[in-house]
Every structure is written in structure tokens, then in C-alpha cells.
Amino acid sequence: MTALLEVRGVSKRFRGLLALDDVSLSLKAGEIIGVIGPNGAGKTTLVNVMTGVHRADAGAVLFGDREITRQRPDQIARLGIARTFQVVQPFPAMTVLENVTAAALFAGGAGTIARAREAAAEQLEFCGLASQSHKPAATLTLAGRKRLELAKSLALRPKVLLLDEVNAGLNPAEIDHALELIAAIAARGITVLLIEHLMKVVTRTAQRLVVLHHGRLLADGPVAEVLADEAVVEAYLGRRYAQRLAEQAQ
């Protein structure tokens, strides 16, 4: 299968720190890929480079046949790559519906404001937020704000969705809901890259796992293979934990 989104030999340096070190990764249409790694591993930087927030110092990012390495975030979003932010940032005074309508208008193609509002209402329904539509975004709980982030991203009608720790800070029941929603998004044919701090969350949802460690790609493959990978066990998981996860994954 050809790659939908590809990162080729990307490095990114912040002053003395090599945040991404020659990382290559390719996302195929329709897959859910999990990215894990400890704090500071370069996960968010990877998403920032893929979405034009940071420019790679070396390497290239390709979307289909098109090189997007030097495109701006708004251009990349319009091409069909949406992302959520680790720290959610709605327009607080606007209602939930207005926040998503703004995203639908930004994506273009929605035509009139009324049509954009309709599209936004559909995404809110899909994300389980319809009943909160007319509340100011600032009044949502953390779980609600994370769902709002998802609804905003979906309003862009993306082909690829990059999710940066959407489950962080949620309780187990909220995580279950979020994972169901992510699976439903993938079932719509949207390719999902799921950045997670928690290994056991990502192994429940992703088909493929990528491990980042000190800016390097330590492993990339089917979940069970990566969990059994010596380098991953050594650097990140620890032996007992790896065994437990492997048992759970079966």
C-alpha cells in the first residue's frame, strides 16, 4: 500500500537538543498507529513538524505525492491533516457549536455559515457533545474539552488525524469513551495517529506501534512485535511490564 503521510529522515534541533534524530515513518490510509515514548521523547515535536508548526532541519514530510515540509500550518490543515493539541485551546467565550462552526468555515467548502453550522452540529452529535452545543466552551469539563477538540478537528474533514495525548487527565470511564470515539473515527476511513503516554491505552486501539526514545525511532511494527522488541523492553518498558502487556494483548 502506498503511504498517505510520510516522514523521511526528519531531524529537528532546539539549540543544543536534538528533539528528532533522523526519524522516518509512513502512515497508510485507514490505519490507527500509536506513538509512545517517555516525556521529552519527541512525540509532540513529530506532530509539530508534520503540521508545519516547526520546520524540520533535515528530511522531508510528504502527503501523498506532495512535499509539505515547508508549508504553513493553515495550508497543511486545509490539505486534510488535522491535529489536536496536548493542551486544549478552544475559544472560551464562544459556544461549543460556534467553536466547531469556526473550524468548519476555516476548512472551506462548507459554503454558507448556515451550512457550516449544520456540519458542526453533525460532528458534535458524533462526538457526543450535542447536548452541550450552546454552552460557552469554557464551561466544559476536561473530557468535554477533549471531545470538542475532536469535533473541531473532524469539522476540517481530514484524511489524517493526529491526536496528541487526547486521553491525558481523563478517568478510566472517560478514556473508554474516547477510545470508542477514536475507533469510530478510524471506521470512517480517517487515518489516525494516536500519541499516548500510557502504553496500555494505545495497545487497546492501535494496530501498529511506534516507539520514540530521545528523538530516535526505536521500533515500528505490529503491536505484539513491538512489545516483544528487545530494545523497547530494555529502554522503555522493563521486562515484567512487557510480559504483562503481551499477555493482555493476546
Ligand X SMILES: Nc1ncnc2c1ncn2[C@@H]1O[C@H](COP(=O)(O)OP(=O)(O)O)[C@@H](O)[C@H]1O
- Residues near ligand X (CB under 6 A) are 14, 17, 19, 37, 39-45
Of 188 and 200, the one with the shorter C-beta distance to ligand X is 200
CA–CA dist 110, 155 (Å, integer): 10
Return the C-alpha cell found at 100: 466547531
CA–CA dist 108, 62 (Å, integer): 22
Q: Residue 42 touches which of Mg ion, ligand X, none (CB < 5 to 8 A by kind)?
A: ligand X
Of 43 and 147, the one with the shorter C-beta distance to Mg ion is 43
Q: Residue 144 touches which of Mg ion, ligand X, none (CB < 5 to 8 A by kind)?
A: none
Q: How far from chain centre, in Å, is Cα 165?
A: 7
44 binds Mg ion (CB under 5 A): yes
CB of 146 to ligand X, least distance (A): 17
For the chain, the helix, strand and coil percentages under 3-state DSSP, each to the nearest 5: 45, 25, 30
Say whether 63 sits in a helix, a strand or coil.
strand
* Count of CB atoms situated within 10 Å of the CB of 91: 13
Of 19 and 143, the one with the shorter C-beta distance to ligand X is 19
CB of 83 to ligand X, least distance (A): 13
Q: Residue 84 touches which of Mg ion, ligand X, none (CB < 5 to 8 A by kind)?
A: none
CB of 10 to ligand X, least distance (A): 12
Sole window of 35-43, 55-63, 120-128, 210-218 interacting with Mg ion (rule: CB under 5 A) = 35-43
CB of 118 to ligand X, least distance (A): 36
| DSSP per position, 76-104 | HHHHTEEE--SS----TTSBHHHHHHHHH
Sole window of 22-30, 44-52, 100-108, 215-223 interacting with Mg ion (rule: CB under 5 A) = 44-52
State the residue number with the nearest CB to Mg ion. Answer: 44
167 binds Mg ion (CB under 5 A): no
Return the C-alpha cell found at 184: 469510530
Amino acid letter, residue 32? I
Which sign, positive or negative, has the C-alpha torsion 74, 77, 83, 89? positive
Q: How far from chain centre, in Å, is Cα 111?
A: 27
CB of 36 to ligand X, least distance (A): 9
71 binds Mg ion (CB under 5 A): no
Residues of this chain that bind Mg ion (CB under 5 A): 43-44
